A = this chain, B = another copy of it.
Amino acid sequence: METKAQVLYDFTAEPGNNELSVREGETVTITNQNIGGGWIEAKNSRGEVGLVPEDYIEIKQAQPFTSGGNAAPLDLSFFDSHTPAPASTAQVDVAQPETPVTPVTPGLSSTSPDETSNGNDPWAVFDNNASGGFSNNWAAQPEGTETGKTSSDAWHSGGHGHPQAYQGPGAEDDEWDEEWDDVKSSGGYAESEAGEGGAINRGGAHGSSMKIALNKFPGFSKSGPELYLLSKQPAKGTKLPVYGGEVGAVWAYPDYQLDCVVADPKKGSKMYGLKSYIEYQVTPTTTNKPVNHRYKHFDWLYERLLDKFGSAIPIPSLPDKQVTGRFEEEFIKMRMERLQGWMTRMCRHPVISSSDVFQLFLSYKDEKDWKTGKRKAEKDETVGVMIFSTIEPEGLPDLDLVEVEQKCELFNRFTRAMDDGVKDLLTIGNEHWKRCTGPLPKEYQRIGKAFQNLSSVFTSSGYEGEATLTDALTAAGKTYEDIAQMVAEQPKKDLHFLMETNNEYKGLLGCFPDTIGVHKAAIEKVKEADKLVATGKITTSEKIIMSKRASTMSHALQAEMNHFHSNRIYDYNRVMQQYLEQQVKFYEMIAEKLRHAHSQFTTM
């Protein structure tokens, strides 16, 4: 059967890439729908055949409409009066005249690249919506401004000058776009290439925060916390108990701490070598069975985790996708290291590590099992704020609204202050990195050369018996050249880890405004409850339920904060130990080298 498709956007073929240029409104015939990688082979009216991005065309067979999430339809219209809907224009990508027709995904949608125009600034939504009392100064500092690019931007700045052909979740095809592995972006690392001495600029890496999906739909309130606060549905999915620990509410921690190793990046290719990608080996310590995943698999996992847990747990973004021509080796190594860091953090989280979707990612029996699991995860209805319905505080008292609000404010203040502190350290570290790899070693090198030069002048004196001096001077000169090299290489040995850890925390902290925003919004809703009761919009028992559920949310947030704090204490102790240990070694080695150089001079 011949399948027709309508072209949604202009697409200009890359020469030599088997691509087909198409114009908006044009009708093409699908010649091969099984190309994969987000591409479809199509034939135009002139009989020319080539690949077009799947997202650029609308196939004239209706996709099944997947409903879900809003399983308990609820009249929430009374909230609408309080919520101007600034996100109603969110789907209009400034680069595109028309809103793409994408299938409605269940619950809180993940951010597809076509929707990120409003996603650059995670705080903006909260500034505009009615969740009041949330004075968001952070909004003035959108994430990623250091590099002038957010990771979302990076996805849009692909080499092809058009939005990447991204296959959104819920579509039938299980294939991915391998372009994801190869696209060039100008975020994070990219800046470093222009920097001095090939230094890797890390200030702006991990530029993106969690992309919580509250801003994805016109009419924000429909996906707001009231969905959970007033839900009449019984909770679906695994229960998430919260216990009273020494420090207050804590998650249930497993006896065995899951971990995994990301290693052995391998280049693979598809479509007769036309498209290539990098595959990483992920080995969980539980099974010790390696599974292979490409970056976009990680990204799929990220999107699932964000959908499911994002309202309760900050899900840090993946390391940015970016490739450099010259430093490809280095880039792959760095991305692997960051994927490792991300995976380690996910493994460490008791809720995430035990979730079905995370376990699916770590275990790969066969393609069928994987596809089934994938489809199941994408159909999960307990996403967005509904995650709170699975949370069960055990032996914890109900908190009144004042307590809930106080805690929320405390977390907000702390994460904000830490965000400032971490960014400050990153800025300073970045400058120090530049100095250590740029002017400082150059200076030591020049000092070394000056000593050696003086030594060779002395050798030309014709005066007998100064070989000891000239040899010693040469050795001292070489020592300073060695020191120059040590200085230049040192940041990779110490500052690197300090920067990476702080970058990770910057990413994590960037998620808190979203998470805390959900709580603030819930608090506002509960505050309105009395009025709603008075006007007969809700019953008194519904009001009591709302209050109790806000308390549950607060316990969950407290558990998450406690998880964050204990990890933070461990991480900063560890990274400072690592940093200082390497610093000590560095200075000791310099002292040792200089001691040796010193011993060669004599005034006897």
A residues adjacent to B (C-beta < 8 A): 246-247, 410, 413-414, 417-418, 420-422, 424-425, 428-429, 431-432, 435, 439-440, 443, 446-447, 450-451, 453-454, 457-458, 460-466, 468-469, 472-473, 476, 561-562, 565-566, 568-570, 572-574, 576-577, 580-581, 583-584, 587-588, 590-591, 594-595, 597-598, 601-603
| Residues of chain B within 8 A of A446, CB atoms compared | 428, 431
Task: Given A443-B431, A443-B435, decide whether A460 and B573 contact each other with a Cβ distance below 8 A.
Answer: no
Q: Are B473 and A450 in contact (CB under 8 A)?
A: no
**How far does the alpha carbon of A425 sit from the alpha carbon of B480 in the complex, in Å?**
13
**How far does the alpha carbon of A410 sit from the alpha carbon of B584 in the complex, in Å?**
48
**How far does the alpha carbon of A468 sit from the alpha carbon of B414 in the complex, in Å?**
19
| Residues of chain B within 8 A of A587, CB atoms compared | 587-588, 590-591, 594
Q: Which of B562, B577, B594 contacts A598 (CB 8 A)?
A: B577
Nearest CB of chain B from residue A436's CB, rounded to whole Å: 9
Q: Are B598 and A573 in contact (CB under 8 A)?
A: no
Could you list 7 A-B pairs, sorted by A, with CB under 8 Å?
A421-B454, A429-B447, A454-B572, A458-B572, A473-B576, A577-B602, A580-B594
Q: Are A573 and B457 in contact (CB under 8 A)?
A: no
**How far does the alpha carbon of A569 sit from the alpha carbon of B595 in the complex, in Å?**
20
Q: Are B457 and A421 in contact (CB under 8 A)?
A: yes
Q: Are A573 and B450 in contact (CB under 8 A)?
A: no
Q: Are A425 and B454 in contact (CB under 8 A)?
A: yes
| Residues of chain B within 8 A of A413, CB atoms compared | 460
Nearest CB of chain B from residue A203's CB, rounded to whole Å: 13
Q: Are A580 and B602 in contact (CB under 8 A)?
A: no
Task: Given A576-B473, A584-B595, decide whether A570 and B414 contact each other with a Cβ distance below 8 A.
Answer: no
Task: Given A443-B432, A590-B587, decide whether A580 and B565 contact each other with a Cβ distance below 8 A.
Answer: no
- Name the 9 nearest CB pairs between A and B, nearest first: A580-B598, A587-B591, A463-B565, A425-B450, A421-B454, A421-B457, A588-B591, A577-B601, A417-B457
Nearest CB of chain B from residue A204's CB, rounded to whole Å: 17
Task: Given A587-B590, A588-B591, decide whether A573 and B431 contact each other with a Cβ distance below 8 A.
Answer: no
**How far does the alpha carbon of A576 sit from the alpha carbon of B469 in the complex, in Å?**
10
Nearest CB of chain B from residue A455's CB, rounded to whole Å: 9
**How far does the alpha carbon of A473 sit from the alpha carbon of B418 in the complex, in Å?**
14
| Residues of chain B within 8 A of A561, CB atoms compared | 463
Q: Which of B246, B421, B454, B573 contacts A601 (CB 8 A)?
A: B573
Q: Are A443 and B463 in contact (CB under 8 A)?
A: no
Task: Given A421-B450, A454-B421, A576-B476, decide whether A460 and B581 contact each other with a Cβ distance below 8 A.
Answer: no
Task: Given A453-B421, A463-B247, decide whether A598 and B581 contact each other with a Cβ distance below 8 A.
Answer: yes
